[in-house]
A and B are shown apart, each in its own frame.
Chain A
Amino acid sequence: MQRTKGYLDEQFCQIEDLQDETSPNFAEEVVSLFFKDSVRLVTNIEQAMEKYPEDFNRWDAHMQQLKGSCYSIGASKMNNECTLFRNNCGQENAEGCMRSFQKVKREHAILRQKLESYFQLLRQAGPAGTATRPAGK
């Protein structure tokens, strides 16, 4: 998977490993929850940056939540960008924050695209149209 390119780390494998007969689509369900959450959190950050200029504590608090979610599903590249944003908050660098935030949003969009393709492929490859990991992993 894309983890060799650094998009997802070991934590994503752990989530996939939790799939079994009773929860055959567990990974996809968790990822779906992640994107539901992350879209909301990204919007919150965007609004906070507009409504509360240079309120670094507030920006940081919002980003902490998003970073936590990234961490939980193993979205390492996006997680790194979140960390950089938080560093900029710590240094009270508003311009740095703006740039980092654009990168966070970009990584978010890329990740979504890649995961959607991934699960689509699994559905095509797996038996009876269920999204399961390929055999032999």
Chain B
Amino acid sequence: MASSCMGIGGEGSAPAAPHVLAVDDSSVDRAVITGILRSSKFRVTAVDSAKRALELLGSVCGLTEPQIISRFRNFRFLCCIACAITYSCIGLQGANVSMIITDYWMPDMTGYELLKKVKESSKLREIPVVIMSSENVPTRINRCLEEGAEDFLLKPVRRSDVSRLCSRVLP
């Protein structure tokens, strides 16, 4: 099972482990989901809010790279270049994220709202998004699935849930 989770189809070279972005405002839940994902041989980045997730994905309120650079015009020249390089490295490729797994209920921006933003973005919409929640609310689940969520997991998330996801979501 671990080998089927490795890589996203390298071409001759050793495939890199898929990179999963985990989003949860609870430090306990972040630690648990990170542990589960790492034990399934994923690379994990865990953030505590949807806003941070979007920053990492390079979305930054939908700004294009030239717009980002122009926003930094007032800063020193080096800072400008550093930002341009950073955004071109991670922004345009969406930080090479193979899957997003997010808590539903978070202050400021919910997992559902994050899902919508991802699916609205031409850069990001192909990334599978999985929602987690400790509450079993059918209308909530349906709404997320209709919006394009790959799956909806009830917390506490188990290793078996993640293995099942892996075989379905990743090639």
Chain A residues close to B by CB (< 8 Å): 11, 14-15, 17-18, 20, 22-23, 26, 29-30, 33-34, 36-37, 65, 67-69, 71-74
**B39 part of interface (Cβ distance < 8 Å):** yes
A14 contacts B26, C-beta separation under 8 Å? no
B31 contacts A30, C-beta separation under 8 Å? yes
A69 contacts B28, C-beta separation under 8 Å? yes
Kindly provide the distance from the CB of B3 to the nearest chain A CB, expressed in whole angstroms.
17
Which residues of B34-79 are within 8 A (CB) of A?
A: 35-36, 38-39
Compute how far the CA of A17 lies from the CA of B39 in the bound complex, rounded to whole angstroms. 10
**B159 part of interface (Cβ distance < 8 Å):** yes
Kindly provide the distance from the CB of A125 to the nearest chain B CB, expressed in whole angstroms.
22
Compute how far the CA of A20 lies from the CA of B155 in the bound complex, rounded to whole angstroms. 23
Compute how far the CA of A20 lies from the CA of B5 in the bound complex, rounded to whole angstroms. 19
Contact of B29 among A20, A22, A68 (CB under 8 A): A68
A18 contacts B28, C-beta separation under 8 Å? no
B156 contacts A33, C-beta separation under 8 Å? no
**B125 part of interface (Cβ distance < 8 Å):** no
Question: A72 contacts which chain B residues (CB < 8 A)?
Answer: 26, 28-29, 32, 134, 155-156
Question: A22 contacts which chain B residues (CB < 8 A)?
Answer: 38
Categorize the interface residue count of chain B. Answer: 10 to 19
Main secondary structure of the interface of A (DSSP, over half): helix
B32 contacts A30, C-beta separation under 8 Å? yes
User: Contacts A23-B38, A65-B26, A73-B28 given; 12 further ones with Cβ under 8 A?
Assistant: A15-B35, A17-B159, A30-B31, A30-B32, A33-B31, A36-B27, A37-B26, A68-B26, A71-B156, A72-B155, A73-B32, A74-B156
Q: A17-B159, A18-B39 are in contact. Are A69 and B26 (CB under 8 A)?
A: yes
A71 contacts B31, C-beta separation under 8 Å? no
**B158 part of interface (Cβ distance < 8 Å):** yes
Compute how far the CA of A72 lies from the CA of B36 in the bound complex, rounded to whole angstroms. 12
Kindly provide the distance from the CB of A82 to the nearest chain B CB, expressed in whole angstroms.
11
5 contacts between A and B (CB under 8 A): A30-B35, A33-B28, A68-B29, A68-B155, A72-B29
Kindly provide the distance from the CB of B111 to the nearest chain A CB, expressed in whole angstroms.
14
Kindly provide the distance from the CB of B43 to the nearest chain A CB, expressed in whole angstroms.
13
Question: A73 contacts which chain B residues (CB < 8 A)?
Answer: 28, 32
Compute how far the CA of A69 lies from the CA of B158 in the bound complex, rounded to whole angstroms. 15
Compute how far the CA of A33 lies from the CA of B27 in the bound complex, rounded to whole angstroms. 7
Compute how far the CA of A29 lies from the CA of B27 in the bound complex, rounded to whole angstroms. 11
Contact of B32 among A15, A20, A65, A67 (CB under 8 A): A15
Q: A68-B134, A71-B134, A72-B156 are in contact. Are A18 and B27 (CB under 8 A)?
A: no
